[in-house]
Amino acid sequence: MLQPGTHAPEFVLPDHTGKDVELSTLLADGPLILYFYPADFTPGCTREACTIRDMFTDLRAVGLQVAGISPQDTASHARFRKEQRLPFTLLSDEDKVAIKMYDVDGPFGVGVRRATFLINQDRTIQDAVLADVLISRHAEFLEKRSC
């Protein structure tokens, strides 16, 4: 996993509508909470996404953008976003390009590690948390930023 103080690699991935989105575009309006998650519609990932959804207004109030990345296709992301009423961007990384750049590929290349990064507008990683099953650690990470 990339560590705080390192430069966040640029990427271009399709969002839930199929439109290509660059990291620099996500950072245009302020720092970014970028989170990686294993899969749409799984219990843990749904809980994590809904936690972020419920904190979204507070995160935006302090100027933070939010985007999630997982290897599902854009159609899956569109359904997940609609069913869970997610107000933020979901990016599809089917080939695990960004997942590998951010060093959150699962053990032996299987799956994706659950990781959350706070990236400044200059693309410096300010902070990060890795907690595969302890979803509450990600919520605590976000709560500290939304105050």
Question: Count of CB atoms within 10 A of residue 86's CB?
Answer: 19
Spell out a b/e string for 28-52, using b for 16 or more CB atoms within 10 Å of the CB, else e. eeebbbbbbbbebeeeebbebbebb
Distance CA 22, CA 43 (A): 29
Selecting among 13, 23, 45, 86, the annotated active-site residue is: 45
Active site residue 45: yes
Active site residues: 45
